[in-house]
Amino acid sequence: MLNKKTEALMKTLTTEKVSVIHAAFGDTPHVVAFVDVEKSLSVTEKLEIAFKKTNSINEAWWSNEGVTAMFPDKACRSTSMGDMVLIGTEKYKCEMSGWSKI
């Protein structure tokens, strides 16, 4: 069994944080969350995980595991068409169906 420090180190080797940016509905673009995703996943898989983890289904999305909320208020809307996700240095916009690279 690994100790907590070793587990934390292993997590940094296998996961990365992507930024979720809300910009739809006339919002001034701002980061609302960092979402942990597996490094080995495809870009599309990382985008879909970020989208799913920042949408409220049965409970508030900021309670989801692997999500770090970055908004100042008590609540935040779910990620929608027109919002963006930053993976490394590449930004993607959520479209009606899928994602477009910006």
**Residue 79 tokens, joined:** 């990620």
CA distances from 62 to 4, 23, 57 (A): 24, 18, 11
> In the prediction, which pLDDT does 4 show?
78
Count of domains observed in the chain: 1
Separation CA 58–CA 43 (nearest Å):
26
- Residue 95 above 90 pLDDT? yes
Separation CA 34–CA 21 (nearest Å):
9
> In the prediction, which pLDDT does 1 show?
64
Give residue 20's domain range.
14-101
List pLDDT tens digits, range 28-80. 999 999 999 999 999 999 999 999 999 998 999 999 999 999 999 899 999 99
Residue 76 within a domain: yes
- At residue 69, what is the residue type? A
Residue 8 within a domain: no
> In the prediction, which pLDDT does 15 show?
95
**Sorting pLDDT into bands at 50, 70 and 90, what band is 27?**
confident
> In the prediction, which pLDDT does 98 show?
95
Residue 66 within a domain: yes
The structure tokens 């508030």 sit at 60
